Structure 1
Amino acid sequence: MNPPTQQCTISAQDDDALTSAAPEDVTQSHPVSAAVVLLPLGPKYEPRFPWDTRLLADEGIRRKARVQERTRLAVANWMGNIDAAQIAAELVPTAAQHGKPFADEHVILRLLLPSETGELLIEADDASADFPDFGAAASSLRGPETSLGFVRRQEVRLSWDPKKDADGHVLGMTVRALVPASEEELA
């Protein structure tokens, strides 16, 4: 739909009349017409399904992480392999055993399903400030039997970053596993 336009010619004499007229007269007889189109702003990026929980760093943490994540993935209607819950079941106990639980003896498990990509982001937070030999732990150099070795064999992208507060103080670290939504994305 095109808005109506007004075409007119204006002389210098008419121009003087417009500038000396009252403001309401100027808007009614001004030769320039404009249409203002308001467009909605794009939504701020937010994951389609954010979820996080604190898990007690005890001997049952692996099972709790797997069961809770499997349930959340089913609720979120994630189109990828539901067995991705096993990845969380490996990341969280690793954070509890090889990292350091927070002061309340918990580690944090977080799931994010980005709306753009369909990938699953699994994050595990602990109170350790550093991750020495991350490359060796995440590869097969320490053997296929390690938790991170298992996660790496699942064809996910593994990374870690220091967890900082608003002032930039290191509070711990976050280990991330980015899981593709389907087998085709693995290629």
Structure 2
Amino acid sequence: MPLDPYLLLSLADPRSGSHVRCLNAAGRWAIHGSAHSPLLVWHSTQADDARAAAERSSKARGRAVEVVSRGDSSWVEGQQIQVFTDAFEAALHGHAAHSEAKARRLRTEADKLEAFCVVVRAASTAADHAAFAEVSRAASKALRAKFGGGSITSVFAWLTGRAGNEALASVLAGEVELTGPLSIQQVVEAVELAKKAEFLREES
């Protein structure tokens, strides 16, 4: 039986690729939903309602919001997704701010995540040992300037460890947005590259 897709609201972002951010019940833009903050959905028969909601959200946020059609066999209403009702109207207009301490922590970790992924992407294009060494030197200099220290080895370890996993999860859940040049898809791909590299290093 073919999967009946739902309608969701998404930011119009040409960089999103396959990682489309959709509106969740907390008023944030997330890749996936959770029991705490499920993605808001409309049934396919509610297309007019979904379009009207997108218009209200666009007007309130000052950003282009569009209706997208998605389906996932793992979705369960009330868990990963939540059918929109008037009770979630506030989510169309914005989200509640994090505490100052939490916002600062999330911002710091997201900045690290993106900066470290830039390093991984540069390292992955190094054609030989000399080129890799140059990337390593440049990375150490940049990390020292921005974070007070670090090396290409520590970058890979951080991305594949608990801190990196939590930072990526926060981005995917819409808790914090990336502010640098990389898209979410590019960040996810860089983290996967780091994990593969660490696995090969441990196996050697």
TM-score tier, shorter chain, comes to: under 0.3
Q: TM-score when scaled to structure 1?
A: 0.23
Instruction: Say which structure is richer in helix.
Output: 2
Please tell me whether Structure 1 or Structure 2 has the larger radius of gyration of its CA atoms.
Answer: 1
Q: TM-score when scaled to structure 2?
A: 0.21
Higher relative contact order (Cα pairs below 8 Å, separated by 6+ residues) = 2
Instruction: Say which structure is richer in strand.
Output: 1
